């Protein structure tokens, strides 16, 4: 059991900075997720915590002890790799027992721990098999078993589910969450998949180009994205972004002569400026035609069963807009439907900096 | 080249490379540089005095018609061996690639001569063509041909070519077959649908597609004929009669160990090293190209 | 095969069998010669079918050797060959594994210098630097010894290159996992790398055993003491003696014995042999 403290952690390869100074405290027992597009530096950051990459500047402390110079083996961590990294020539049992054996744990104790973990993960029947005889999901379990058996104070996950098919991924996601809640071990999880990040993490770090875009709980990120990047990254389908001009006294945004949205809150400082408006597809709803509304010209309709996605053109400038409606709904091409959105669900971002207004 | 992740600095890597580096230094680098140095010296017959003569030994070699003859012989010898063994192996491989049943059995029956030492290959052929007792000699005699490679230089050359090529067929066969089996079946099927018969398919599809293998084997066969056939020449003809089979490798040995012309022999070694280096570079260029295209 | 034309298939088989006969004929003649006695072996034409002297000849070559030839009994030379071939194969594999491990898994000063030094040796077969190498071995007092027979042939770049290639294909994550599990370099080498390279080691062993067994020029130069003769060079001594008294039945029996171990290795371990051959040459 341990907390993790990152203080001004930087990484550069020669003159290229890949991590630009990160401060973060991860509490004991917390499950945090680092999420971002590929190449954002999330894996590098995780590997620095693991001790597989050197830290260019700053400190990493685990359980209060600075570990910058410690070998991975001495950091009391365990890691689950994307491709599992199981030793192909060892049985499942030996894979799980290897680190304990190196540590000089007694044979009986090894046996007890391996069997106990195997039971938790329901891999008891495969202990004598070689990794190549297992399916992807089973290998994934063995990789986790290998990590758990060491009883580390920190778990590190490097995109552990990305090699699984969609159905298995959902199932394993749930299992990882249950397991972490049951064991209560501090966990850092890296993924590029925002759904995984939202469902698993107590807290999320959204990383972009080596900079922290936002830190917060999943709901925080969803409801109050700090930047346009976060707003676009979190949520599926992604948020609609439209350019608009801030109206009189900052009480509305105008898209074209025929379309505008009312705002809640005071934006009078921005009057007359061009801003980026963010609208989540699921927040747009069909309006009562007698109330104030805007209109959408339907182009393509996608039926998901539980929801219907409507892609259409909006305002005179034919801005593209995606709407997510509950249930099965039918529209024909070029049908015009009335839309509205509640003012507190309208997100506004600075057009140049992308910061939330 | 190097792993993305690697172990930190310590004395360990030096200890790990030490055995190979020490052996390389003592038995490769040092002797090779000695050969270079000696090639610039002339020693008198009793080994009492040596004189540094720059490139005198090389000049002498290039004006020596014996050396020129050995060079020409080596080239004729090498390409004959390569052509004979590769041609035979290619035909066999094409047949083995055609038949589905028994391809592996044929492979087993054809590859074992690879394991026969060149000297032994030489011994077998010398026995079969022994001027008085040999079975082939007897057969040729019944057709009215008197075989005696101990007197006839051309026959001696033929004998070493046969012995050398015989042993190399296995190797060539193996690589040709592997090359042919690596060609996607769909290509052959497409050609068949386009109306090409077996022979035409071989000439227009299979042979062009295995041309990298062919080139690679050509280089290796030349290397083999240049250097590894020493044992064959030494047992079968000792370079005779009248130097008719004295190839370059044999001449280095003969001039150095028998003739005790250290400088001349060293100069020949240096030239051979240069030839090896050129052939190796050619071979590596091939490997690189192959890596690029696959 | 695409079209079903029995005639062509039949001809293919016919040609293959014909090819095998050509390739195997010298061996058949060798075998036949080894089964006759000295008297039969000087009558022209020589026999094409085996006789009944196989075991007599076997016993004589193994224990007594050939009269007039300056070579020890063949049994003795076979043992020398075996020791030399094993030392070369095991030695080459051992030093190549170690140096490939260092070059692939460590970053250290002069790494590339060492790499090139090993690379250069690839270019120089023993035949072209024979005289100075002989001098070195003579100066080190290694003539007429197993060390002298094997060590100068041990260093070669091919094996190092092959292991380097093998190591490069092993995923980085295995090393990372092993480091997190607490394995140091030597432990990683022993527990992960060696077991994962097992088939490559075996394949290389097959190739190197044959290479070592078939060495000719080098043993010929550095052994003057009959007790160190290897069987492959012993054949040469017998052939020289055959100029006076051609005991072909014994020479051919010796040839048969000399080619048997490597041929058996190739035939019995065919898949390893093919793997070794294709991997070391590329």
Is the pLDDT at B250 greater than 70, yes or no? yes
Instruction: Look at C130 and B277 and tell me if their CB atoms are within 8 Å.
Output: no
Angle formed by the axes of helices B56-63 and B65-98, nearest 10°: 70
Q: Which residue of C has its CA nearest to B113?
A: C263
**Pair of tokens at residue C26:** 């010298």
Greatest mean pLDDT among A151-165, B20-34, B217-231 lies in A151-165
**What is the DSSP secondary structure assignment for residue B114, as one 8-state letter?**
G
Is the pLDDT at A310 greater than 90, yes or no? yes
pLDDT at A142: 93
pLDDT at B1: 53
Decide if C215 is inside a domain: yes
- Closest residue by Cα to residue A263 from A245, A286, A282, A236: A245
Higher pLDDT, residue B28 or A107? A107
Instruction: Look at C233 and B28 and tell me if their CB atoms are within 8 Å.
Output: no
Is the pLDDT at C263 greater than 60, yes or no? yes
The three-point CA angle B246-B227-C218 to 5° equals: 95
**If you average pLDDT over every residue of chain C, what do you get?**
83
Decide if B34 is inside a domain: no
Closest-CA distance, C200 to chain A, in angstroms, reads 14
Is the pLDDT at C206 greater than 50, yes or no? yes
pLDDT at C128: 67
Q: How many CB pairs lie under 8 A apart between chains B and C?
A: 293
Instruction: Look at C216 and B230 and tell me if their CB atoms are within 8 Å.
Output: yes
* Residue A183: alpha-carbon gap to chain centroid: 22
Is the pLDDT at C282 greater than 60, yes or no? no
**If you average pLDDT over every residue of chain A, what do you get?**
90
Decide if C2 is inside a domain: no
d(CA C166, CA C148): 30
Residue A162, chain C, CB below 8 Å: the answer is no
For B230-235, what is the mean pLDDT? 86
pLDDT at C118: 83
pLDDT at C127: 67
Residue C192, chain A, CB below 8 Å: the answer is yes
Place C281 in a pLDDT band, splitting at 50, 70 and 90.
Answer: low
Q: Which residues in chain C (130-169) have CB-CB distances under 8 A to chain B?
A: 130-133, 135-137, 140, 151-152, 154-155, 160, 167-168
Q: How many CB pairs lie under 8 A apart between chains A and C?
A: 61
Place B115 in a pLDDT band, splitting at 50, 70 and 90.
Answer: confident
Task: Tell me if A305 sits within 8 A of A347, measured CB to CB.
Answer: no
Residue A107, chain C, CB below 8 Å: the answer is no
The complex's ipTM works out to 0.82
Decide if B210 is inside a domain: yes
Residue C129 maps to which CATH number?
1.10.3720.10
Decide if B85 is inside a domain: yes
pLDDT at C67: 62
Residue B256, chain C, CB below 8 Å: the answer is yes
pLDDT at C3: 62
Task: Tell me if C45 sits within 8 A of B136, measured CB to CB.
Answer: no
Q: Of A211-225, A247-261, B278-292, C49-63, where does mean pLDDT reach its minimum?
A: B278-292
Contacts of C259 in chain B (CB under 8 A): 115-117, 120
The residues, ordered by sequence, that sit 6+ positions from B33 with a Cβ below 8 Å of its Cβ are none
Residue C179 is nearest to which of A73, A84, A103, comparing CB atoms? A73
Instruction: Look at C129 and B7 and tell me if their CB atoms are within 8 Å.
Output: no
Decide if C14 is inside a domain: no
Where does residue C94 rank: exposed (0-12), middle (13-18), buried (19+ CB within 10 A)? Answer: middle
**Domain span at residue B246?**
72-260
pLDDT in tens, B135-154: 888 888 888 788 887 888 88
pLDDT in tens, A170-189: 989 999 999 999 999 999 99
Decide if B45 is inside a domain: no
Beta-strand ranges (E) seen in B53-145 are: none
Instruction: Report the domain count for chain B.
Output: 1
Task: Tell me if C99 sits within 8 A of B19, measured CB to CB.
Answer: yes
Residue B134 maps to which CATH number?
1.10.3720.10
Q: Which residue of C has its CA nearest to A72?
A: C180
Q: What are phi and psi of A8, to 5 degrees?
A: 50, 50
Higher pLDDT, residue A198 or B55? A198
Decide if B3 is inside a domain: no
Q: What are phi and psi of B136, to 5 degrees?
A: -65, -40
Q: Is the peptide bond before A237 cis (omega within 30 degrees of 0)?
A: yes
Residue C202, chain B, CB below 8 Å: the answer is no
Per cent of chain A over pLDDT 70 is 99
Residue C181 is nearest to which of A51, A88, A98, comparing CB atoms? A98
Decide if C231 is inside a domain: yes
Decide if B28 is inside a domain: no
For C171-179, what is the mean pLDDT? 89
Residue B87, chain C, CB below 8 Å: the answer is no
Decide if C109 is inside a domain: yes
Contacts of C187 in chain A (CB under 8 A): 102
Contacts of C107 in chain A (CB under 8 A): none
pLDDT at C252: 85
Decide if C40 is inside a domain: yes
Decide if B79 is inside a domain: yes
pLDDT in tens, B187-219: 888 887 877 777 888 888 888 888 888 888 888
For A300-314, what is the mean pLDDT? 91
Mutation target to probe the A interface, by most A beta carbons within 10 A, among C177, C178, C190 is C177
d(CA B62, CA C182): 63
Instruction: Report the domain count for chain C.
Output: 1
Decide if C52 is inside a domain: yes
d(CA B267, CA B226): 17
Q: Which residue of C has its CA nearest to A158?
A: C173
d(CA C251, CA B168): 23
**Domain span at residue C247?**
34-278
Task: Tell me if B39 sits within 8 A of B266, measured CB to CB.
Answer: yes
Task: Tell me if A9 sits within 8 A of A19, measured CB to CB.
Answer: yes
Contacts of A90 in chain C (CB under 8 A): 195
pLDDT in tens, A40-77: 989 999 999 998 888 999 999 999 899 998 888 888 99
Q: Which residue of B has its CA nearest to C248?
A: B127
Percent helix, strand, coil in chain A, to 5, is: 30, 35, 35
Residue C99, chain B, CB below 8 Å: the answer is yes
Higher pLDDT, residue C213 or C121? C213
Residue C262 is nearest to which of B115, B132, B192, comparing CB atoms? B115
Predicted model pTM = 0.81
For A245-257, what is the mean pLDDT? 81
Instruction: Look at C173 and A81 and tell me if their CB atoms are within 8 Å.
Output: yes
The residues, ordered by sequence, that sit 6+ positions from A299 with a Cβ below 8 Å of its Cβ are A311, A312, A313, A333, A334
Q: Which chains touch A (3 or more CB pairs under 8 A)?
A: C
Is the pLDDT at C130 greater than 80, yes or no? no
Greatest mean pLDDT among A28-37, B18-27, B228-237, C3-12 lies in A28-37
Mutation target to probe the A interface, by most A beta carbons within 10 A, among C107, C169, C182 is C182
For C67-94, what is the mean pLDDT? 85
Decide if B86 is inside a domain: yes
Q: Which residue of C has its CA nearest to A75?
A: C180
The three-point CA angle A63-A96-A161 to 5° equals: 75
d(CA A3, CA A187): 10
The three-point CA angle C235-C240-C244 to 5° equals: 130
Decide if C92 is inside a domain: yes
Instruction: Look at A81 and C198 and tell me if their CB atoms are within 8 Å.
Output: no
d(CA A216, CA A226): 10
For B86-90, what is the mean pLDDT? 93
- Closest residue by Cα to residue A150 from C181, C72, C24, B142: C181
Is the pLDDT at A112 greater than 70, yes or no? yes
Residue B245, chain C, CB below 8 Å: the answer is no
């Amino acid at each position: 059991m341990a907390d993790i403290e990152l203080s001004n952690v930087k990484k550069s390869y020669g003159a290229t900075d890949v991590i630009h100074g990160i401060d973060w405290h991860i509490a004991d027992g917390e499950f945090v997720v680092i999420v971002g597009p590929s190449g954002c530096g999330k894996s590098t950051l995780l590997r620095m915590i693991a001790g597989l990459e050197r830290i260019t500047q700053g400190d990493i402390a685990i359980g209060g002890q600075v570990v910058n110079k410690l070998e991975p083996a001495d950091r009391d961590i365990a890691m689950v790799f994307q491709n599992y990294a199981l030793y192909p020539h060892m049985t499942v049992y030996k894979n799980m027992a290897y680190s304990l054996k190196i540590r000089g744990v007694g044979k009986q104790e090894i046996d007890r721990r391996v069997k106990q973990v195997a039971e938790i993960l329901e891999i008891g029947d495969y202990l004598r098999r070689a990794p190549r005889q297992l399916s992807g999901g089973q290998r994934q379990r063995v990789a986790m078993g290998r990590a758990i058996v060491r009883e580390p104070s920190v778990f590190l996950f490097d995109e552990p589910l990305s090699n699984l098919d969609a159905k298995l991924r959902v199932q394993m996601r749930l299992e990882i969450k249950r397991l972490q809640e049951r064991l209560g071990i501090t966990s850092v999880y890296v993924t590029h998949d925002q759904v995984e990040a939202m469902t698993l993490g107590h807290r999320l770090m959204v990383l972009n180009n080596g900079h922290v875009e936002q830190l917060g709980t999943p709901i925080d990120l969803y409801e109050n994205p700090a930047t346009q990047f976060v707003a676009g990254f979190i949520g599926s389908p992604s948020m609609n972004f439209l350019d608009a001009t801030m109206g009189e006294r900052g009480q509305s945004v105008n898209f074209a002569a025929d379309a505008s949205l009312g705002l809640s809150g005071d934006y009078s400082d921005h009057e007359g400026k061009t801003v980026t408006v963010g609208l989540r597809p699921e927040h747009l709803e069909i309006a009562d035609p007698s109330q104030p509304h805007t209109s959408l010209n339907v182009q393509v309709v996608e039926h998901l069963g539980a929801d219907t996605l409507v892609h259409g053109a909006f305002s005179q400038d034919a801005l593209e807009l995606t709407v997510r409606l509950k249930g099965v709904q039918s529209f024909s091409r070029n049908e015009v439907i009335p839309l509205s959105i509640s003012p507190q669900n309208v997100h506004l971002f600075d057009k140049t900096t992308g910061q939330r207004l | 080249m190097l792993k993305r992740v690697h172990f930190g600095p310590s004395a360990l890597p030096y200890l790990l490379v030490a055995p190979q580096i020490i052996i390389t230094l003592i038995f490769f680098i040092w002797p090779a540089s000695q050969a270079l140095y000696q090639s610039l010296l002339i020693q008198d017959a009793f080994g009492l005095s040596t004189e540094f003569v720059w490139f005198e030994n090389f000049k002498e070699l290039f004006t020596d018609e014996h050396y020129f003859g050995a060079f020409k012989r080596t080239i004729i010898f090498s390409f004959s061996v390569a052509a004979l063994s590769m041609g035979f192996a290619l035909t066999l491989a094409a047949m083995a690639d055609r038949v589905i049943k028994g391809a592996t059995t044929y492979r087993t029956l054809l590859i074992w001569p690879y394991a026969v030492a060149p000297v032994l290959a030489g011994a077998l052929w010398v026995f079969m063509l022994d001027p008085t007792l040999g079975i082939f000699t007897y057969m040729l005699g019944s057709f009215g041909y008197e075989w005696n490679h101990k007197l006839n230089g051309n026959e001696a050359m033929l004998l070493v070519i046969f012995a050398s090529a015989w042993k190399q067929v296995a190797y060539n066969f193996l690589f040709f077959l592997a090359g042919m089996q690596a060609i996607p079946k769909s290509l052959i099927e497409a050609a068949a649908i386009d109306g090409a018969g077996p022979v035409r398919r071989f000439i227009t599809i299979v042979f062009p597609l295995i041309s990298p293998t062919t080139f690679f084997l050509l280089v290796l066969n030349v290397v083999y004929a240049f250097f590894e056939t020493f044992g064959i020449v030494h047992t079968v003809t000792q370079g005779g009669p009248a130097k008719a089979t004295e190839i370059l490798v044999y001449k280095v040995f003969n001039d150095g160990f028998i003739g005790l012309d250290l400088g001349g022999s060293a100069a020949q070694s240096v030239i051979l090293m240069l030839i090896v280096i050129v052939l190796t570079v050619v071979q590596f260029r091939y490997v690189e190209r192959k890596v690029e295209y696959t | 095969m695409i079209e079903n034309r029995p005639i062509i298939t039949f001809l293919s088989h016919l040609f293959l069998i014909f090819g095998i006969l050509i390739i195997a004929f010298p061996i058949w003649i060798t075998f036949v010669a080894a089964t006759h006695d000295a008297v039969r072996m000087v009558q022209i034409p020589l026999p094409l079918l085996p006789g009944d002297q196989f075991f007599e000849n076997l016993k004589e070559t193994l224990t007594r050797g050939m009269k007039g030839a300056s070579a020890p009994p063949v049994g003795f030379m076979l043992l020398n060959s075996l020791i030399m071939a094993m030392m070369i194969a095991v030695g080459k594999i051992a030093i190549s594994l170690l140096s490939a491990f260092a070059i692939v898994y460590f970053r250290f000063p002069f790494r590339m210098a060492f790499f090139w030094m090993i690379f250069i040796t690839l270019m120089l077969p023993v035949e072209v630097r024979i005289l100075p190498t002989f001098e070195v071995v003579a100066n080190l007092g290694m003539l007429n010894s197993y060390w002298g027979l094997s060590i100068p042939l041990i260093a070669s770049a091919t094996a190092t290159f092959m292991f380097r290639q093998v190591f490069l294909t092993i995923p980085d994550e295995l090393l990372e996992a092993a480091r997190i599990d607490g394995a140091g370099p030597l432990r990683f080498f022993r527990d992960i790398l060696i077991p994962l390279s097992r088939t490559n080691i075996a394949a290389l062993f097959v190739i190197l055993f044959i290479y070592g067994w078939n060495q000719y020029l080098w043993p010929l130069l550095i052994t003057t003491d009959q007790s160190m003769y290897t069987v492959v060079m012993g054949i040469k001594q017998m052939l020289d003696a055959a100029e006076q008294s051609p005991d072909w039945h014994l020479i051919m029996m010796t040839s048969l014995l000399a080619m048997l171990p490597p041929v058996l290795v190739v035939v019995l371990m065919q898949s390893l042999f093919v793997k070794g051959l294709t991997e070391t040459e590329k």
